[in-house]
Homo-oligomer: A and B are copies of this chain.
């Protein structure tokens, strides 16, 4: 085989991997899977896509090696295939946020549009948690909290926040976290809580970042 032909083939094959990452719906799915293993239907529900559609996207991700499946009971659970998958996606996301000005501006604008939210860094949170100066709440859907969450965090899904906020103290700082940079649940939670008269802050990064850093978590044993 001629080298030129081989190169053409080689880059074509390489592009199969990158193509898997080139679709917005699949990126959203990856962000969801970074939380842990979930069935197809769950993904469809949380990304507002038809089930058949999600299934097709998952096939693409599977073929590229980014995700794997495992059947449990009547559900097919999808998960990221390994740390490498998550790393690659994170690097890309970070790059996207740093390079693409439209992207970072979009997020900033959306966050500004809400009343300005206070943000706390991971390091500060750790310090304050040691001193028991904060309450940490996980505002992702309960299923994701159960899959794995930051140690000592309380599950308080964003959707039912108003009903359950009563159990929180208005004197203590409340820190909310969610899935990460492209997730807006914590923003919304902090916004709601502030309106209600609580002292709420948003953790700078989400659960996947915390877990990736090797910080203390509680993970569901299977």
Contacts and interface: CB of A to CB of B under 8 A. Distances in A.
A5 B60 CA distance: 24
A121 interface: no
Task: Identify whether the interface residues of A are mostly helix, strand, loop, or mixed.
Answer: helix
Interface string A1-43: 1011011111111111111011111011000000000000000
Contacts of A87: 91, 95
Contact of A96 (B17, B28, B182, B188): B17
A163 interface: no
Contacts of A13: 100, 102-103, 106
B14 A103 contact: yes
Given A7-B28, A182-B10, A23 B15 contact: yes
A14 B15 CA distance: 18
**Among A25, A64, A96, A113, which residue has the most Cβ atoms of chain B within 10 A?**
A96
A85 B66 contact: no
Interface of A: 1, 3-4, 6-19, 21-25, 27-28, 48, 64-66, 81, 84-85, 87-88, 91-93, 95-96, 98-103, 106-107, 110, 113, 182, 184, 188
- What are the 5 closest A-B residue pairs judged by CB atoms, nearest first? A65-B99, A22-B22, A11-B24, A15-B24, A88-B95
20 contacts: A1-B110, A1-B113, A6-B106, A6-B110, A10-B107, A11-B24, A13-B100, A13-B103, A13-B106, A14-B27, A14-B93, A14-B96, A18-B18, A18-B21, A18-B22, A18-B27, A18-B96, A65-B100, A66-B99, A91-B91
